Amino acid sequence: MTFCENNLDFLDKAIESALKRIDRNIDKFKAGFPAPASVDNRYPIVDNINWTNSFWTGMLWLAYEYNQNEKYRELAEKHINSFKERLEKRIVVDHHDLGFLYTLSCVSAYKITNNDGAKKVALEAAEYLMKRYHEKAEIIQAWGDLNNPEQRGRMIIDCNMNLPLLYWASSITGDNKYYEAARNHVKKALRYIVREDYSTYHTYHFDVDSGIPLKGTTHQGYSDESCWARGQAWGIYGFTLSYTYTKDKELLEATKKIADYYLERLPEDKICYWDLIFTEGDQERDSSAAAIAVCGLLELSKQLSDSDEDKIRYKKAAHKILQSLYCNYSNKDEEEVDGLLLHGVYNKNGNTGVDECCIWGDYYYFEALMRMKMNWEMYW
Ligand code: GLY
């Protein structure tokens, strides 16, 4: 393990490297998008058809906010048209990840540039996402057709990050239905996806006709009863985000314990293995989960009162992880690597993107750097 700097001196170097990589990728991706994960550290170029396309757009918005260079804004604004068309033509939109997709592409555009067209598209995405809400179970179904027997009534921890689109839609329209659905969903996630020891299931199944909770399972974790590292990271960030909208103290208190579970299972260099069942050995790390956790811990720390002694603890933990990401996992101008972060894991069980760059890892790493560098207003 190396910690190459003792303080935050790395920040400017890290941002410079990240911007260089983003500039190169603008030249490489052109009007296309990077695939969710790299192959041999190179991102294949894909159409706007994945759950991950907006992470690239979100990075462009972050870069624009950082230095106001119009080239980032111009490309991000072109992406808005692509996201609009995707929703209008219903191109791979029947899943809960509309939150990721439309928060980072369109809500961001509206928040940064007051773009009314982007606001309209994001509101339409929120409306479409509401179709996945099961009233009786009070959950948003993650994947698949609503009548698909395997997926019907299945919620997943990742969905916490899709809820801000709904909270935002209520704040814009004044219609509380989006807020209610998001709040009900997050309370169900807290009750059933979070276990007694504050680890998390990746997924949880409900009988949506009776509302009865059935069982927790995994999709990307090591086993049903283990704790998938990225899921725990989605939990840290996602529950905190719901707290920022609801001010429900139960969410904040639980998030602290979810964060503690995560922090207690980190190896020496502070970058988690792909499943928290592993704390040493040769299994792959997931740098992308670490980057999500940094953002979550920074936001959690921000939400805690000055008198809360955990406020500083979470902030320090986030700094340490970010420092290790920069020192030990970031791409320092290596020509043959497209990502900002190396050594992520997309889906170990499916042998997809294992020990590769993951585009959301790049996004959250860059968001973390921006959080540290400037007074950044969230897109979430
Ligand atoms: N939300 C999908 C993943 O984290 O892989």
Dist. CA 50–CA 263, nearest whole Å: 30
Q: Distance from the CA of 174 to the center of ligand 1, in angstroms?
A: 31
Q: Specify the residue with its C-alpha closest to ligand 1, atom 2.
A: 158
Residues of the chain with pLDDT under 50: 1
Active site residues: 97, 158
Identify the CATH number of the domain in which residue 88 sits.
Answer: 1.50.10.10
Q: Determine, yes or no, domain membership for 338.
A: yes
Per-residue model confidence (pLDDT) at position 66: 98
Tokens representing 155 are 């919620």
Query: For residue 379, is it within any domain?
Result: no
**Domain extent for 192:** 10-373
Contact predicate 201/218, CB 8 Å: yes
Closest ligand 1 atom to 220 CA: 5
pLDDT score, position 333: 87
> 112 C-alpha vs ligand 1 centroid, how far in Å?
26
- Chain CA centroid to CA 315, Å: 19
Tell me how many domains the chain contains.
1
For the CA of 158, the closest atom of ligand 1 is 1
- Contact assessment for residue 51 and residue 358, using Cβ atoms and an 8 Å cutoff: no
Q: Confirm if 28 and 359 have CB atoms less than 8 A apart.
A: no
At CA 226, angle to CA 275 and CA 348, rounded to 5?
40
pLDDT at 5: 64
Which residues share a beta bridge with 205?
154, 215
Ligand 1 geometric centre to CA of 158 (Å): 6
CA distances from 260 to 3, 120, 272, 313 (A): 22, 39, 13, 10
* Pocket-testing residue among 53, 96, 220, ligand 1, by greatest number of atoms within 8 A of Cβ: 220
Q: Ligand 1, residues 230, 237, 347, 356: which to mutate, most atoms within 8 A of Cβ?
A: 230
> What pLDDT, on a 0 to 100 scale, did the predictor assign at position 8?
79
Secondary element (H or E) of residue 140: strand 139-140
Neighbours of 58 (CB within 10 A): 26
Q: Is residue 4 part of a domain?
A: no
Contacts for 161 with CB less than 8 Å, ≥ 6 apart: 99, 100, 234, 237, 238, 241, 380
Query: Which one, of 266, 257, 277, lies nearest residue 198 by Cα?
Result: 257
Cα 239 from Cα 237, distance rounded (Å): 6
Q: What is the per-residue pLDDT across 122-172, written as a single tens digit (0 to 9) for each? A: 999 999 999 999 999 999 999 999 999 999 999 999 999 999 999 999 999
Helix or strand run (H / E) with residue 353: strand 352-356
The answer as to whether 192 is a domain residue is yes
Note whether residue 378 is domain-resident.
no
In the numeric block, which tokens belong to residue 103? 């928060």
| 372 Cβ contact partners less than 8 Å away, ≥ 6 residues apart | 8, 11, 298, 319, 322
Pocket of ligand 1 (CB under 6 A): 158, 220, 230
User: Could you tell me if residue 380 is inside a domain?
Assistant: no
Q: Give the C-alpha separation, 23 to 71, whole Å.
A: 10
pTM of the model: 0.98
What residues have CB less than 8 Å from 24, skipping those under 6 apart? 338
Alpha helices, DSSP H only, in the chain?
10-29, 53-67, 70-88, 98-102, 108-113, 116-130, 163-173, 177-188, 229-246, 249-264, 287-303, 310-324, 359-373
Tell me if 313 is assigned to some domain: yes
Tokens of residue 197, six digits: 């020891």
**Token pair of 279, please?**
């704390």
Ligand 1 mean position, distance from CA 307 (Å): 35
Atom of ligand 1 nearest to the CA of 97: 1
